[in-house]
Amino acid sequence: MILPAPYRHAIWPFAFAALCQPGLARDRHAPVDPTVLPEITAPAAYMIDVDSGRVLFARDAQRRFVPASLTKIMTSYVAFELIASGKLRLDQRFVMTPETFRQWHGVGSTMFLGNNSSTTVAELLEGIVTVSANDACVVLAQGIAGSVPGFTAMMNEQAKRLGMRNTHYNTPNGWMDQGQTYVSAQDLATLSDALITRHGDLYHRFYGHERAEFNGIQQNNHNPLYGHTPGADGVKTGFTGEAGYGVVGSVVRDGRRIILVLGGYARPKDRADQSRQFAEWGFAAWDSHPIVGAGAKVGTAIVQAGKARSVDLVAPRGYALTVPHGEAPRYTLSIRYKTPLIAPIAKGEEVASLIVRAPGQPIEHLPLVAARDVATGNGIDRVRDGLATLAQHLPATLRPTFQ
């Protein structure tokens, strides 16, 4: 197989360096220290700790590359968003039209949908996620949006909302399209993080399966982490001659989750071996220290024009600080919001940020949400707010208390 020029130039220097520098060659019989970064030859590589947001490794993380079936992560994400908003049901049925059957029957990975067959959204998602079914992606796209271009427009809109600046989708399944569909390692990690944290129930229902059966045909998932890496529950693999071999992996242990992205391998064995070693390094070389628990009150924000003068700020999920193994965590926390908050405010609405500063790390901005609803106030409430504002300018000994 011949890879596109960008991958040839990215891969061969690693092989040349290993041959010319004996010190880089590893003794296959020596015990492996999981705290030592393994050899990673993928042109694009990235790893994050989900709870802390810390980037554990990055190589050409914003470089655009062809994703192949890694595209299907966004296909499932769009469906999950629609299901969560009540616009799509898992028991809805979509039909494989004769035209779609002629174009996609038996093309690449497939769940062998029959001509004019009717399949539920749940069955299509299982086929897309577990066996990477190209035919299921097209049927789902047409069923949701009426056409493939209509669905890819939805994919690109979601990518924009997530801040995926180096991503564009032209197909729902990642089939070769002369590079019109592209992603970056960082964008794939961002997408997978959102997939898992926003849609945990749907993620656990459809991801993490080692095999699937449809119409009496059983097929295996090609994720190299399954059955080898404890805690692996996702996400997706991809391969075409245009893209090479790629993987987005998710592994969770003792409540701590890492996401890894590797793209552009020439051989599936390299993808399998290195992804497993990479995952082990992510846990062995880094320690996670919880700093805020899910649902914990972090602070209070002032509210104007509401029935209440303030609202508690809580963490919607747990946050942690990730540091090199054996290193003590050092950090400072602060809260930032646009003061005052203006009612009405809905419970669970993101209204503030928790700012985490740690030596040697980028400043993290973690969302905080309102602990309860705050309804719009009446005239008396507005008078109270006005008096409270005036009172702020009085000497401390003369200030009244407003509830």
- What's the pLDDT tens digit per position in 92-127? 999 999 999 999 999 999 999 999 999 999 999 999
Cα–Cα distance for residue pair 303/309, rounded to 1 Å = 5
Q: Is the pLDDT of residue 55 over 70?
A: yes
> Which residues in 112-197 belong to E strands, given as ranges?
118-120
Sheet bearing 341-342, strands edge to edge:
332-336, 350-357, 364-370, 310-314, 297-304, 341-342
Numbered ranges of CATH 3.40.710.10 in the chain: 37-284
Longest dimension (CA), the chain: 82
Cα–Cα distance for residue pair 282/48, rounded to 1 Å = 9
> Which residues in 190-314 belong to E strands, given as ranges?
211-214, 217-220, 232-240, 244-253, 256-265, 286-292, 297-304, 310-314
Spatial contact of 329 and 321, defined as CB atoms under 8 Å apart: yes
DSSP state of 68: G
Residue 190: half-sphere exposure toward Cβ, Cα within 13 Å:
17
Cα–Cα distance for residue pair 176/169, rounded to 1 Å = 12
Q: Is the pLDDT of residue 26 over 50?
A: no
Q: Where does the pLDDT of residue 69 fall: very low under 50, low under 70, confident under 90, or very high at 90 and above?
A: very high
Paired tokens of 213: 């059966």
The dihedral region occupied by 350, where left means phi > 0, alpha psi between -120 and 50, and beta the remainder, is beta
Q: Is the pLDDT of residue 400 over 70?
A: no
Q: What is the pLDDT of residue 117?
A: 97
Instruction: Report, at the CATH architecture level, how domain 291-398 is classified.
Output: Sandwich (2.60)
For residues 279-302, average pLDDT: 95
Cα–Cα distance for residue pair 52/323, rounded to 1 Å = 10
> What is the number of H-type helices and E-type strands within the chain?
10, 17
Numbered ranges of CATH 2.60.410.10 in the chain: 291-398
φ, ψ of residue 320 to 5 degrees: the values are -140, 165
Cα–Cα distance for residue pair 143/91, rounded to 1 Å = 13
Q: Is the pLDDT of residue 324 over 90?
A: yes
Spatial contact of 120 and 93, defined as CB atoms under 8 Å apart: yes
Q: Is the pLDDT of residue 23 over 60?
A: no
pLDDT in tens, 200-256: 999 999 999 999 999 999 999 999 999 999 999 999 999 999 899 999 999 999 999
Residue that wins the pLDDT comparison between 387 and 369: 369
Q: What is the pLDDT of residue 21?
A: 36
Q: Is the pLDDT of residue 335 over 80?
A: yes
pLDDT in tens, 345-360: 999 999 999 999 998 8
pTM of the model: 0.83
pLDDT in tens, 148-197: 999 999 999 999 999 999 999 999 999 999 999 999 999 999 999 999 99
**Mean pLDDT over all residues of the chain?**
89
Q: What is the pLDDT of residue 160?
A: 98
Question: Of the segments 25-39, 356-370, 384-398, which one has the largest average pLDDT value?
Answer: 356-370
Q: What is the pLDDT of residue 388?
A: 58
Q: Is the pLDDT of residue 71 over 60?
A: yes
Q: Where does the pLDDT of residue 362 fall: very low under 50, low under 70, confident under 90, or very high at 90 and above?
A: confident
Q: Is the pLDDT of residue 133 over 70?
A: yes
For residues 268-283, average pLDDT: 98
Q: What is the pLDDT of residue 377?
A: 86
At the topology level, CATH places domain 37-284 in Beta-lactamase (3.40.710)
- Preceding peptide of 139 cis, ω within 30°: no
